[in-house]
A and B are shown apart, each in its own frame.
Chain A
Amino acid sequence: MKIKTISRVEEDYTRERKSDALRVHRNLAPELRPMGRATEYKRALNATKLDKVFAKPFAGQMSGHADGVLCMAKSPASLTELVSGAADGEIRVWDVPSLKTVRVLKGHRGACRGVSASNDGGAVVSCGDDATIRLWTMPKAGMGEMNDPTRKIPVLETSEMYVESNGFRDCDAHWGKKEFATAGANVQVWSMERSHALHTFEWGSDTVLSVRYNPVETDIFASCGSDRSIALYDVRMQTPLKKIIMQTKSTKLCWNPMEAFNFTVANEDTNLYSYDMRKLDIATCVHKDFVSAVMDIDYSPTGREFVAGSYDRTVRMFDYNAGHSKDCYHTKRMQRVFCTRFSMDGSYVFSASDDMNVRCWKADASAQMGTLSAREKRKHAYNASLKDRFKHMPEIRRIANHHHVPKAIHKQTKLRRTMQEAETRKAKRRVAHAAPGAEKKEFKPARKKKILAEVE
Chain B
Amino acid sequence: MNAEAVARRQKKYDKDLRERAKKYRVGERVSSKHVSDKKVRATLRESQNLADEAATAAATHEKWLASEEPGVLEADEGERTYQYQQRDIVNNVDVNAAKKAFDLDVPGTGRYYVDYSQNGRELLLGSSEGALSMMEWQRHYMISETDARETVKDVKFLHNEQFYAAAQDKYTYIYDKRGLEVHCLNDHMHVNKLTFLPKHFLLCSIGNQGILRWQDTTYGKIVAQYRTKLGECNAMTHSNYNAVVHCGHKNGTVTLWSPNQGTSLVKMLCHRGTVRGVAIDNGGKYMVTSGSDGQVKVWDLRTYMPVHAYYSAQPSDHIQISQRGMLAVGWGSTVQIWKDALSTKQNSPYMKHQFSHGQKINSMKFCPYDDVLGVGHTRGFTSLLIPGAGEPNFDTFVANPYETKGQRREQEVARLLDKLPSETIQLDPDAVGKLRAVPKEVQAERRQQAIEAELSSRKAQRDKNEEKTKMKGKNRTSKRYRKKQLNVIDDKKLAKMEAKRLREAGITEKRGGVAAPGSTAGAASSAPYAPEGTSKALRRFYK
Alpha-carbon distance A2/B323, docked complex (angstroms): 22
A4/B242 contact (C-beta < 8 A), A28-B61, A30-B24, A35-B432 known: no
Question: Chain B 25-46 against A: per-residue CB contact (8 Å), 1 yes, 0 no?
Answer: 0100000000000000000000
Q: In the complex, which of the residues B58, B76, B79, B401 contacts A28, with contact meaning CB atoms closer than 8 Å?
A: B58
> Taking the nearest CB of chain A, how far is it from the CB of B88, in angstroms?
7
> Taking the nearest CB of chain B, how far is it from the CB of A47, in angstroms?
10
A33/B398 contact (C-beta < 8 A), A22-B404, A27-B66 known: yes
Find out whether the CB atom of B402 lies under 8 angstroms from the CB atom of A26: no
> Taking the nearest CB of chain A, how far is it from the CB of B21, in angstroms?
11
Considering only residues 1-57 of chain A, those with a C-beta below 8 Å from chain B are 1-10, 13-14, 22-44, 46
Considering only residues 384-413 of chain A, those with a C-beta below 8 Å from chain B are 390, 392-393
Q: In the complex, which of the residues A25, A31, A44 contacts B283, with contact meaning CB atoms closer than 8 Å?
A: A31
Say what secondary structure dominates the interface of chain B: loop
Which residues of the partner chain A approach B392 to less than 8 Å between Cβ atoms?
Answer: 6
18 new A-B contacts at CB < 8 Å, known A6-B370, A31-B283, A35-B242: A1-B74, A1-B79, A3-B387, A8-B96, A26-B397, A27-B394, A28-B61, A34-B242, A35-B199, A35-B241, A35-B243, A36-B26, A37-B432, A38-B432, A39-B418, A43-B417, A43-B418, A46-B417
Find out whether the CB atom of A32 lies under 8 angstroms from the CB atom of B418: no
Considering only residues 33-86 of chain B, those with a C-beta below 8 Å from chain A are 58, 61-62, 65-66, 68-76, 79, 84
Alpha-carbon distance A392/B436, docked complex (angstroms): 11
Considering only residues 163-178 of chain A, those with a C-beta below 8 Å from chain B are none
Alpha-carbon distance A44/B94, docked complex (angstroms): 47
Task: Say yes or no: is B97 at the interface (Cβ < 8 Å to chain A).
Answer: yes
Alpha-carbon distance A29/B282, docked complex (angstroms): 12
Which residues of the partner chain B approach A43 to less than 8 Å between Cβ atoms?
Answer: 417-418
Considering only residues 348-380 of chain B, those with a C-beta below 8 Å from chain A are 369-371
Q: In the complex, which of the residues B58, B240, B369, B421 contacts A6, with contact meaning CB atoms closer than 8 Å?
A: B369
Which residues of the partner chain A approach B429 to less than 8 Å between Cβ atoms?
Answer: 34-35, 37-38
> Taking the nearest CB of chain B, how far is it from the CB of A43, in angstroms?
6
Which residues of the partner chain A approach B395 to less than 8 Å between Cβ atoms?
Answer: 25-28, 32
Alpha-carbon distance A4/B434, docked complex (angstroms): 44
Question: Chain A 135-174 against B: per-residue CB contact (8 Å), 1 yes, 0 no?
Answer: 0000000000000000000000000000000000000000
Task: Say yes or no: is B390 at the interface (Cβ < 8 Å to chain A).
Answer: yes
- Total count of chain B residues near the partner, CB < 8 A: 69
User: Closest A-chain residue to B62, C-beta based?
Assistant: A28
Find out whether the CB atom of A35 lies under 8 angstroms from the CB atom of B424: yes
Find out whether the CB atom of A5 lies under 8 angstroms from the CB atom of B387: yes
Q: In the complex, which of the residues B71, B92, B369, B435 contacts A1, with contact meaning CB atoms closer than 8 Å?
A: B92
Find out whether the CB atom of B92 lies under 8 angstroms from the CB atom of A25: no
Question: Chain B 274-285 against A: per-residue CB contact (8 Å), 1 yes, 0 no?
Answer: 000000001110
Q: In the complex, which of the residues B283, B391, B424 contacts A38, with contact meaning CB atoms closer than 8 Å?
A: B424
Alpha-carbon distance A393/B430, docked complex (angstroms): 14
| A-binding residues in B (CB < 8 A) | 23-24, 26, 58, 61-62, 65-66, 68-76, 79, 84, 88-89, 92-94, 96-97, 100, 199, 240-243, 282-284, 323, 369-371, 385, 387-388, 390-402, 404, 407, 417-421, 424, 429-430, 432-435
Q: In the complex, which of the residues B72, B84, B396, B420 contacts A39, with contact meaning CB atoms closer than 8 Å?
A: B420
Which residues of the partner chain B approach A10 to less than 8 Å between Cβ atoms?
Answer: 402
> Taking the nearest CB of chain A, how far is it from the CB of B60, in angstroms?
10
Find out whether the CB atom of B24 lies under 8 angstroms from the CB atom of A28: yes
Q: List 15 A-B contacts (CB under 8 A).
A: A5-B71, A8-B401, A9-B96, A14-B402, A22-B407, A24-B397, A25-B394, A26-B61, A28-B24, A35-B424, A37-B430, A40-B433, A41-B432, A42-B420, A393-B433
Which residues of the partner chain A approach B283 to less than 8 Å between Cβ atoms?
Answer: 31
A34/B26 contact (C-beta < 8 A), A6-B392, A26-B65, A26-B396 known: no
Alpha-carbon distance A6/B400, docked complex (angstroms): 15
User: Closest A-chain residue to B420, C-beta based?
Assistant: A38
Alpha-carbon distance A7/B388, docked complex (angstroms): 11
Which residues of the partner chain A approach B61 to less than 8 Å between Cβ atoms?
Answer: 26, 28
Which residues of the partner chain A approach B97 to less than 8 Å between Cβ atoms?
Answer: 5-7
Alpha-carbon distance A36/B434, docked complex (angstroms): 13
Find out whether the CB atom of B72 lies under 8 angstroms from the CB atom of A4: yes
Alpha-carbon distance A157/B371, docked complex (angstroms): 86
> Taking the nearest CB of chain B, how far is it from the CB of A40, in angstroms?
7
Alpha-carbon distance A46/B416, docked complex (angstroms): 11
Find out whether the CB atom of B73 lies under 8 angstroms from the CB atom of A34: no
Considering only residues 309-349 of chain A, those with a C-beta below 8 Å from chain B are none
Q: In the complex, which of the residues A9, A27, A35 contacts B420, with contact meaning CB atoms closer than 8 Å?
A: A35
> Taking the nearest CB of chain A, how far is it from the CB of B84, in angstroms?
7
A1/B387 contact (C-beta < 8 A), A25-B396, A26-B66 known: no
> Taking the nearest CB of chain A, how far is it from the CB of B431, in angstroms?
8
Q: In the complex, which of the residues A24, A36, A392 contacts B435, with contact meaning CB atoms closer than 8 Å?
A: A392
Find out whether the CB atom of B407 lies under 8 angstroms from the CB atom of A7: no
Find out whether the CB atom of A30 lies under 8 angstroms from the CB atom of B23: yes
User: Closest A-chain residue to B58, C-beta based?
Assistant: A28
Which residues of the partner chain B approach A41 to less than 8 Å between Cβ atoms?
Answer: 424, 432-433
Find out whether the CB atom of B26 lies under 8 angstroms from the CB atom of A6: no
> Taking the nearest CB of chain A, how far is it from the CB of B519, in angstroms?
35
> Taking the nearest CB of chain A, how far is it from the CB of B92, in angstroms?
5
> Taking the nearest CB of chain A, how far is it from the CB of B379, in angstroms?
25
Alpha-carbon distance A22/B406, docked complex (angstroms): 10
Find out whether the CB atom of B71 lies under 8 angstroms from the CB atom of A4: yes
Alpha-carbon distance A44/B402, docked complex (angstroms): 30
Which residues of the partner chain A approach B424 to less than 8 Å between Cβ atoms?
Answer: 35, 38, 41
> Taking the nearest CB of chain B, how far is it from the CB of A223, in angstroms?
33
Find out whether the CB atom of A24 lies under 8 angstroms from the CB atom of B396: yes
> Taking the nearest CB of chain A, how far is it from the CB of B197, in angstroms?
10
Q: Residue among A10, A26, A30, A33 with the most chain B CB within 10 A? A: A26
Alpha-carbon distance A200/B508, docked complex (angstroms): 75
Which residues of the partner chain A approach B434 to less than 8 Å between Cβ atoms?
Answer: 37
Alpha-carbon distance A1/B93, docked complex (angstroms): 11
Find out whether the CB atom of A27 lies under 8 angstroms from the CB atom of B398: yes
Which residues of the partner chain A approach B398 to less than 8 Å between Cβ atoms?
Answer: 27, 32-33
Alpha-carbon distance A170/B314, docked complex (angstroms): 96
> Taking the nearest CB of chain B, how far is it from the CB of A53, in angstroms?
13
User: Closest A-chain residue to B83, C-beta based?
Assistant: A1
Which residues of the partner chain A approach B369 to less than 8 Å between Cβ atoms?
Answer: 6
Q: Residue among A10, A34, A46, A393 with the most chain B CB within 10 A? A: A34
Alpha-carbon distance A22/B400, docked complex (angstroms): 12
Find out whether the CB atom of A27 lies under 8 angstroms from the CB atom of B393: yes
> Taking the nearest CB of chain B, how far is it from the CB of A17, in angstroms?
13
Q: In the complex, which of the residues B62, B387, B393 contacts A25, with contact meaning CB atoms closer than 8 Å?
A: B393
A2/B432 contact (C-beta < 8 A), A10-B402, A34-B284 known: no
> Taking the nearest CB of chain B, how far is it from the CB of A15, in angstroms?
8
> Taking the nearest CB of chain A, how far is it from the CB of B380, in angstroms?
23
> Taking the nearest CB of chain B, how far is it from the CB of A61, in angstroms?
35
Find out whether the CB atom of B199 lies under 8 angstroms from the CB atom of A39: yes
Which residues of the partner chain A approach B24 to less than 8 Å between Cβ atoms?
Answer: 28-30
Which residues of the partner chain B approach A31 to less than 8 Å between Cβ atoms?
Answer: 240, 282-283, 323
Alpha-carbon distance A23/B401, docked complex (angstroms): 12
Which residues of the partner chain B approach A22 to less than 8 Å between Cβ atoms?
Answer: 396, 404, 407
User: Closest A-chain residue to B434, C-beta based?
Assistant: A37
Find out whether the CB atom of B419 lies under 8 angstroms from the CB atom of A42: yes
Q: In the complex, which of the residues B58, B69, B419, B430 contacts A4, with contact meaning CB atoms closer than 8 Å?
A: B69
Find out whether the CB atom of B88 lies under 8 angstroms from the CB atom of A1: yes
Find out whether the CB atom of B93 lies under 8 angstroms from the CB atom of A3: yes
Find out whether the CB atom of A38 lies under 8 angstroms from the CB atom of B433: yes
Which residues of the partner chain A approach B96 to less than 8 Å between Cβ atoms?
Answer: 7-9
Which residues of the partner chain B approach A27 to less than 8 Å between Cβ atoms?
Answer: 62, 66, 391, 393-395, 398
> Taking the nearest CB of chain A, how far is it from the CB of B459, in angstroms?
19
Alpha-carbon distance A5/B96, docked complex (angstroms): 10
Instruction: Sort A-B residue pairs by CB-CB distance and give the 6 closest, nearest first.
Output: A41-B433, A38-B432, A7-B97, A2-B74, A27-B393, A5-B71
Which residues of the partner chain B approach A14 to less than 8 Å between Cβ atoms?
Answer: 402
Which residues of the partner chain B approach A40 to less than 8 Å between Cβ atoms?
Answer: 433
> Taking the nearest CB of chain B, how far is it from the CB of A384, in angstroms?
14
